[in-house]
Structure 1
């Protein structure tokens, strides 16, 4: 019985020998820790460009829908105004009549020139025939210019995409009546970025070029604070964050980001240096007389060089030598 009891005491010691633990000391010095502010940002296109109608009329053709990718100058819709077609027909009829009058006036002028050479008609009569031809030619030129204007208006019935991008919204439908200047489609162009808004009290802490932490889809990424807008509205500052490879399938999607809004000095110790007992946290301090345990109050965890550190809020001072352990 005594032999069995001895084996029970020795076995734990044998297990500890199989997993040796090494220790070293860390001299504490204050280190700067970045303070992060969690906010939500929305995926936004760099530019929202409206494709507007240049004339009023009826939408006879609608070539795009939400989500379509368009090129600059591509037709988005076709608008027709029947009044313009009637104007073209009226101008063509006037041109036919004036061309007939001009043909007759030119014949009269040719005959008058022949009679004037024989002295049958006076010079003033010949000049009147020439004036009539000139007036008719001027009227025809004016009508042709008017016809070009109307033809151009008909061509402007084609609503074109001002820039290449993705169609975000089409607020009209085929067969609808639209006025000149109304929006036919909204196109997002120039790529996408994250737009966020924070309280104005953080305005002075934001700097263009700062690294922004982005969390989403189970992974942490980084972005760059590209632009800070100078206009403060409703007590909020807007800023844009550029993120490489940002998923732009859903404009307006909310993404959680963390902004650097300041920094403070703190003492950091490796997480392995902390031990818990009786609901309290302890660290070992190396002193001239040996090691002793000290109660500390831990704070947030900080990752540095792949190692997890814990911020110590109280219980330690600069110059303390903390005993750290690792296997």
Structure 2
């Protein structure tokens, strides 16, 4: 093939640039090469290269350079950094082009045959035959274990702790003494109130006698009504002061009785904040008591699953601490509202906490995480599809409605791949119930399906 941009054959004994061009020209004439691409490279070099060596060995310069400085053209060209940069860029272009020629698929003589052979063979895929089975719709959520009951122990008396021997983890029974707070200040206050009551009693007796005497004098006309009223007011004020002191004494006595702190529930001591000898404060708890013979698991259900559960429904808990064992629980509370931030509905599941025979401790502990499984429905003999065969894209996300699951799957029909739109139902592990789109006996692609196209030829690989 003749190169359209190659006017004459370069001199093989000329400059290094022309020698390189001659080699390109020679490769363009080899069988299986791409002459058009090689000739284009040659034309680029002829167009941009500032200096072309003649067969005589002399340099041929552009006319503008000869007019500007014919005497120093050679020296200026050798020292000009722009010429050096231009040469380096052109040699880089030349090397990349030659490398592209060696790997260009279109310039290889056997490329067309190999492509045709690959197309005839089809894309290798693995398939599974769809079958039928019994399936249960199971809701799976993360379970956060918390104590069934938890109370904080506060001291209403701001004084020193005289007795507080408990440690975290110790078991305590309801009514058992937790701590004793010093109440000497309260006792002194009670004594002071008692003394004030004795004084006010004497005053009341004197005012009562004075009031009786004033009543007789008023009848006799010896005193005026104003004098009698003043005496009566003093008597009534003394009675009110006595009642106030008695109320204060009762409140102080109740506070003093609270200096003895007893456990309101049975459980274990947790989060002990103070020690014996510290000063207790009504604002800070001494410790917590947790009832752990039963625990609660808090589940946060999405809005679509709220209507599927009900009170007293059975729940199966699987904990990481006991991977080979399950714990049975029941739904005991469903919150009547959704959390505004997460749009979830919290439900409480009550589960018994058995004792481990080896360690004599409870198997479950507050703060553990596990998995809660709630079986909401069961379907027998339904068509199921494995999860690896299902594809999801933006188009399907726009089509599917709230609560609906749409996927795409490829079915092998003869030696061709056919795309199917699949509507899914309940899920069990890696299997989905097929509501629409597939039938029992279909061969769905489970490997190699991501790059498949409708009607593309495929080759089924044998299962390993």
Give TM-score scaled by structure 2 length: 0.39
Q: 1:104 to 1:222 in 2, by over 3 A?
A: closer
How far does residue 30 in structure 1 lie from its aligned partner after superposition? 1.6
Report whether the alignment pairs 1:214 with 2:318. Answer: yes
The residue aligned with 2:70 is none
Distance 2:151 2:214 in 1: 64
How far does residue 222 in structure 1 lie from its aligned partner after superposition? 4.5
1:71-95 alpha-carbon deviations (Å, 9 max, x no partner): 2x65432334554344333322322
Query: What secondary structure is seen at the aligned counterpart in 2 of 1:178?
Result: coil
The residue aligned with 1:265 is 384
Report whether the alignment pairs 1:169 with 2:271. Answer: yes
Distance 1:199 1:128 in 2: 73
Report whether the alignment pairs 1:318 with 2:437. Answer: no
Query: What secondary structure is seen at the aligned counterpart in 2 of 1:46?
Result: strand
Q: 1:212 to 1:265 in 2, by over 3 A?
A: farther
| Residue among 354, 360, 365 paired with 1:246 | 354
Does structure 2 retain, via aligned residues, the 8 Å contact 1:39–1:196?
no
Q: 1:200 to 1:135 in 2, by over 3 A?
A: closer
Query: What secondary structure is seen at the aligned counterpart in 1 of 2:180?
Result: strand
How far does residue 162 in structure 1 lie from its aligned partner after superposition? 4.1
- Give the number of equivalent residue pairs: 242
How far does residue 115 in structure 1 lie from its aligned partner after superposition? 7.0
How far does residue 40 in structure 1 lie from its aligned partner after superposition? 7.8
Question: Higher helix share goes to which structure?
Answer: 2
The residue aligned with 2:253 is 151
The residue aligned with 1:87 is 189
Distance 2:286 2:316 in 1: 37
Distance 2:233 2:345 in 1: 72
Query: What secondary structure is seen at the aligned counterpart in 2 of 1:214?
Result: strand
How far does residue 29 in structure 1 lie from its aligned partner after superposition? 4.0
| Residue among 210, 223, 228 paired with 2:328 | 223
How far does residue 253 in structure 1 lie from its aligned partner after superposition? 6.9
How far does residue 31 in structure 1 lie from its aligned partner after superposition? 1.4
How far does residue 182 in structure 1 lie from its aligned partner after superposition? 2.1
| Residue among 33, 52, 60 paired with 2:162 | 60
Gaps of 5+ in 1: 1-27, 268-310, 312-316, 320-327
Query: What secondary structure is seen at the aligned counterpart in 2 of 1:54?
Result: coil
The residue aligned with 1:78 is 180
Gaps of 5+ in 2: 1-129, 356-361, 387-430, 432-439, 443-464
Instruction: Select the structure with the greater relative contact order (CA < 8 A; seq sep ≥ 6).
Output: 1
Question: Higher strand share goes to which structure?
Answer: 1
Deviates more, 1:30-39 or 1:197-206: 197-206
Report whether the alignment pairs 1:122 with 2:223. Answer: yes
Query: What secondary structure is seen at the aligned counterpart in 1 of 2:273?
Result: coil
Does structure 2 retain, via aligned residues, the 8 Å contact 1:224–1:242?
yes
Distance 2:374 2:209 in 1: 89
Query: What secondary structure is seen at the aligned counterpart in 2 of 1:183?
Result: coil
Distance 1:59 1:53 in 2: 9
Query: What secondary structure is seen at the aligned counterpart in 2 of 1:96?
Result: helix
The residue aligned with 2:8 is none
Query: What secondary structure is seen at the aligned counterpart in 2 of 1:30?
Result: strand
How far does residue 128 in structure 1 lie from its aligned partner after superposition? 5.0
How far does residue 169 in structure 1 lie from its aligned partner after superposition? 3.3
Distance 2:301 2:240 in 1: 68
How far does residue 251 in structure 1 lie from its aligned partner after superposition? 2.4
| Residue among 285, 299, 302 paired with 1:183 | 285
1:30-56 alpha-carbon deviations (Å, 9 max, x no partner): 214569999986653123222223343
Q: 1:193 to 1:126 in 2, by over 3 A?
A: closer
Distance 1:140 1:225 in 2: 58
Does structure 2 retain, via aligned residues, the 8 Å contact 1:193–1:240?
no
Distance 1:146 1:199 in 2: 52
Does structure 1 retain, via aligned residues, the 8 Å contact 2:167–2:269?
yes
The residue aligned with 1:30 is 132
Does structure 2 retain, via aligned residues, the 8 Å contact 1:106–1:133?
yes
How far does residue 147 in structure 1 lie from its aligned partner after superposition? 2.0
Distance 2:191 2:353 in 1: 55
Does structure 2 retain, via aligned residues, the 8 Å contact 1:55–1:181?
no
1:278-317 to structure 2, matched below 5 A, reads none
The residue aligned with 1:141 is 243
Does structure 2 retain, via aligned residues, the 8 Å contact 1:232–1:238?
no
